[in-house]
Amino acid sequence: MEHIRTTKVEQVKLLDRFSTSNKSLTGTLYLTATHLLFIDSHQKETWILHHHIALVEKLALTTSGCQCIRSDPVIQCKNFRTVHFIVPRERDCHDIYNSLLQLSKQAKYEDLYAFSYNPKQNDSERLRGWQLVALAEEYKRMGVPNSNWQLSDANRDYKICETYPRELYVPRIASKPIIVGSSKFRSKGRFPVLSYYHQNKEAAICRCSQPLSGFSARCLEDEHLLQAISKANPANRYMYVMDTRPRHRMQSWWATQKDIGRIIVRISSKIWNDEKIRESDGKKRLNAMANRAAGKGYENEDNYSNIRFQFVGIENIHVMRSSLQKLLEVNGTKGLSVSDFYSGLENAGWLRHIKAVMDAAIFLAKAIMVENASVLVHCSDGWDRTSQVCSLGSLLLDPYYRTIRGFMVLIEKDWISFGHKYSERCGHLDGDPKEVSPVFTQFLECVWHLTEQFPQGFEFNEAFLLQIHEHIHSCQFGNFIGNCQKEREELKLKEKTYSLWPFLLDDQEKYFNPLYSSTSQKLAALEPNTVSFNFKFWRNMYHQFDGTLHPRQSVFNIIMNMNEQNKQLQKDVKDLESQIKQHKNKQTDGVLTKELLNSVRPESPALKTSLCLKEQTLLPVNDALRTIEGSNPADNRYSEYADEFSKAEPAVVSSEYGVARMTC
């Protein structure tokens, strides 16, 4: 690879960002075409995929040895790993830095890891992997097509909407001209289509983008399509239209529009004719329009009957990006005090945003469960906030999506097929940094909050969510590459790359939630409680790689082990029973059976212990959960005193990191 200037550097130190004693691991750093590899003196390997590198910084550092200012690379990864290397020679350091800068930002899709990754599968296995999650089957499972909903072939060739999939479900009474008309009225042609159909309630979740109406312009086809959606629900005459954007944002959006001319064109004749506004100056007019837009939503309520408009305030991608940035800054602080942590958490606003997404999804689920009403969700383009709300809403309503396979289907349906722009949002290529935003991460975090609140509601565990998060950035598999289905087909991803899902299914034992209860009626539709107390900082996500911050023992592992043992023991019981029966058949004398039973009895305890041992080696402690039994105090903050203990210092009390050092 032409970008790699140096492939191997020895005597490199790896600093742990939370270890306080500045103790470091010394080892060798290797640069490969796809990974950065660090092997320490204990032969422990740390692999970092180039695609995971979000930021390489040179940190000015004064080394005690030579007192010269030098720079060592600090690498921040998209999976929230931060590594800090100290490279002994300035030139190597420079080479590594520049190589990583090149390698972490690829210009072409074809340079992504997925196109070179080869898990040694043949073509038919690869194809089977891609067919594992089939959306046509999923719609069949939901119960469409039926007498009210049908498959539309309008977008068969991506002619109506490039960012939608080919197969779309629409109300049966919506004709093709209506669809075409509506799509012209909606941003990026994303007209209202079915996202989820609730079979019992006969209500639907539909999604679209914002209308391009401005203020007045009506689109009869769009109005017809919405009517058709509400008529497709026999149980309820009215439907909801959820605009997931906050009102004040839209106001300010209108206020900041510089292109006044463009807006003037859209001005409704109704407002234009309003005497007061005509008399006032242009600026006031603009404000009035902004208010009108904000007050009424984009669709003009007068033109749509039987529709209830609902605003839920989820902020845009830029707010979310800077919120996460703030959160990571707080977390990365060494020697953080409790007070700084919570004020940082508050300032970042991250949990507030998570709560907003969750509240929106709950509103959606309630509209369907309680009111039997269909809901149409949109934001601006209908691929970020809309995906969050639709997918979370379906997750609350349908227990199938809370299974391992169902969750894959959900992601495939509401995120991948409906055109969430993974490549732009995750920054797969060297593109516009303003398009990067943790929208999908937020969705995963919402799901994690639900798993915390309903420990028995989900078939999968936290490790599953973390693994998916790992791979939306890794570009190791083809699923998340590209921004929409059309682009993915053009890239021939199904022929050139592999699907992630079969690999997750192969490992599914790791991702099972041992407490999962699939039959519980109470958990059919989830009704989470979103009081503020319930939202916690997701340590295992944002500190995945900071082992020193983790719980030292894992409950999940032990319960999994116990479950395995229970199964094994139950099997043994059956075996023994069948043996007894065999013996009985041979010996008709009942007295002998008793003897036999007696002979079985003393055996069982010994059998049990040997099985326990065997089982425990069968299921080794899961590395992903990082069980650190009796962890080392040197990893923790209070270990600063270890050095202090041995020194004889003058009596000084210095207050560092909010704790007083010892005096002597």
Partner 1 sequence: MEFSELIRTGQAQAELLRGPEMPPLRGTLCVTGHHLLLSPGPQATPDLWLLLLRSVDSIEKRVAGDAGTITLRCKDLRVLQLDIEGVEATLDIARSIEALSSLESVITSFPFFYRPKGLRLGEAWHFHPPERYYKRIARETRAWRLSEANEDFSLCPSYPRAVIVPRAVDDDALARSARFRQGGRFPVLSYYHAPRGTVLLRSSQPLTGRQKLRCAEDEELLRAVLAEARPGARGFIVDTRSAQAAKQARMTGGGTEAKAAYPGWKRLHRPLERGRPLQESFVRLMEACGDPEQSMDRWLSRLDGCRWLSHVKEALSTACLAAQGMEWEGACILVHGAEGTDSTLLVTSLAQLILDPLSRTMAGFQELIEREWIQAGHPFQLRCAHSAFSHTRPKHEAPIFLLFLDCVWQLGRQFPLSLEFGEGMLLALFDHSYASPFGTFLCNSEKERCLCEVRTRTHSLWSGLNQPKEQRKLRNPLYVPNPLAIWPSVEPQSLRLWQGLFLRWTHPPEPSEVAWEKVWQIATDQKTEGSQPTDSASEPQP
Are the C-beta atoms of residues 384 and 440 closer than 8 Å to each other?
no
As a whole number of Å, the CA-based R_g of the chain is 30
Task: Work out how close the CB of 553 gets to partner 1 at its nearest, in angstroms, rounded to a whole number.
Answer: 5
Beta-ladder partners of 376: 206, 241
Task: Work out how close the CB of 563 gets to partner 1 at its nearest, in angstroms, rounded to a whole number.
Answer: 6
Site for partner 1 in 340-359 (CB under 8 A): 340-343, 345-346, 349, 351-352, 355
* Cα angle 450-453-457, degrees, rounded to a multiple of 5: 70
User: Strand 307-311 to strand 239-243: parallel, antiparallel, or no bridges (unpaired)?
Assistant: parallel
Span of 94-102, 105-113, 495-503, 564-572 interacting with partner 1 by CB under 8 A:
564-572
Q: How many CB atoms are closer than 10 A to CB 327?
A: 21
Specify the residue, 120 or 601, whose C-beta has the smaller distance to partner 1. 601
Q: Which of 529, 586, 620, 623 binds partner 1 (CB under 8 A)?
A: 529
Task: Work out how close the CB of 5 gets to partner 1 at its nearest, in angstroms, rounded to a whole number.
Answer: 37
Q: Which of 269, 566, 587, 610 binds partner 1 (CB under 8 A)?
A: 566
Q: Which of 537, 619, 621, 622 binds partner 1 (CB under 8 A)?
A: 537
Span of 138-146, 197-205, 275-283, 652-660 interacting with partner 1 by CB under 8 A:
652-660
Span of 50-58, 237-245, 337-345, 616-624 interacting with partner 1 by CB under 8 A:
337-345
- Provide the mask over 594-633, with x wherever binding to partner 1 is found by CB under 8 A and - wherever it is not: ---x--xx--xx--x--------------------xxxxx
Site for partner 1 in 293-332 (CB under 8 A): 331
Specify the residue, 180 or 600, whose C-beta has the smaller distance to partner 1. 600
- Local structure of residue 307 (DSSP, 8 states): E
Phi, psi of 413 (to 5 degrees): -80, -60
Specify the residue, 314 or 411, whose C-beta has the smaller distance to partner 1. 314
Upstream peptide bond of 211 is cis (omega within 30 degrees of 0):
no
Specify the residue, 235 or 573, whose C-beta has the smaller distance to partner 1. 573
Q: Is 218 exposed, middle or buried (0-12, 13-18, 19+ CB in 10 A)?
A: middle
Site for partner 1 in 226-285 (CB under 8 A): none
| From 93, 208, 379, 484, the catalytic residue | 379
User: Strand 239-243 to strand 375-378: parallel, antiparallel, or no bridges (unpaired)?
Assistant: parallel
Site for partner 1 in 3-42 (CB under 8 A): 18
Beta-ladder partners of 40: 27
Residue 120 sits in the site that holds partner 1 (CB under 8 A)? no
Give me the helix-helix angle, 317-332 and 439-453, nearest 10°. Answer: 70
Query: For residues 664 and 646, what is the distance between their CA atoms, to the nearest angstrom?
Result: 11
Are the C-beta atoms of residues 3 and 99 closer than 8 Å to each other?
yes
User: Strand 655-656 to strand 239-243: parallel, antiparallel, or no bridges (unpaired)?
Assistant: unpaired
Residue 518 sits in the site that holds partner 1 (CB under 8 A)? no
Q: For residue 68, indicate whether it is catalytic.
A: no
**If binding means CB under 8 A, how many residues of this protein chain bind partner 1?**
87
Q: Which two tokens stand for residue 182?
A: 């509506």
Are the C-beta atoms of residues 46 and 38 closer than 8 Å to each other?
yes
Q: Which two tokens stand for residue 209?
A: 């983008």
Q: Which two tokens stand for residue 550?
A: 């983790």
Maximum Cα–Cα distance for the chain, whole Å? Answer: 111
Specify the residue, 508 or 579, whose C-beta has the smaller distance to partner 1. 579
Residue 563 sits in the site that holds partner 1 (CB under 8 A)? yes
Q: Which of 46, 76, 121, 517 binds partner 1 (CB under 8 A)?
A: 517
Are the C-beta atoms of residues 331 and 542 closer than 8 Å to each other?
yes
Site for partner 1 in 422-481 (CB under 8 A): 453-457
Task: Work out how close the CB of 609 gets to partner 1 at its nearest, in angstroms, rounded to a whole number.
Answer: 9
Span of 65-73, 105-113, 247-255, 558-566 interacting with partner 1 by CB under 8 A:
558-566
Q: Which of 256, 339, 521, 585 binds partner 1 (CB under 8 A)?
A: 339
Span of 67-75, 154-162, 254-262, 638-646 interacting with partner 1 by CB under 8 A:
638-646
Which residue type occupies 141? Answer: R
Q: Is 143 exposed, middle or buried (0-12, 13-18, 19+ CB in 10 A)?
A: middle
Site for partner 1 in 567-596 (CB under 8 A): 569-570, 572-573, 576-577, 580-581, 590, 593
Residue 646 sits in the site that holds partner 1 (CB under 8 A)? yes
Print the SS3 string covering 610-641.
Answer: HHHHHHHHHCCCCHHHCCCCCCCHHHCHHHHH
Q: How many CB atoms are closer than 10 A to CB 570?
A: 10
Span of 185-193, 306-314, 334-342, 371-379 interacting with partner 1 by CB under 8 A:
334-342
Q: What is the distance in angstroms between the CA of the first residue and the CA of the last residue of the chain?
A: 57
Specify the residue, 184 or 608, whose C-beta has the smaller distance to partner 1. 608
Q: Which of 59, 61, 524, 555 binds partner 1 (CB under 8 A)?
A: 555
Specify the residue, 88 or 332, whose C-beta has the smaller distance to partner 1. 332
- The residues annotated with a catalytic role in the active site are 379
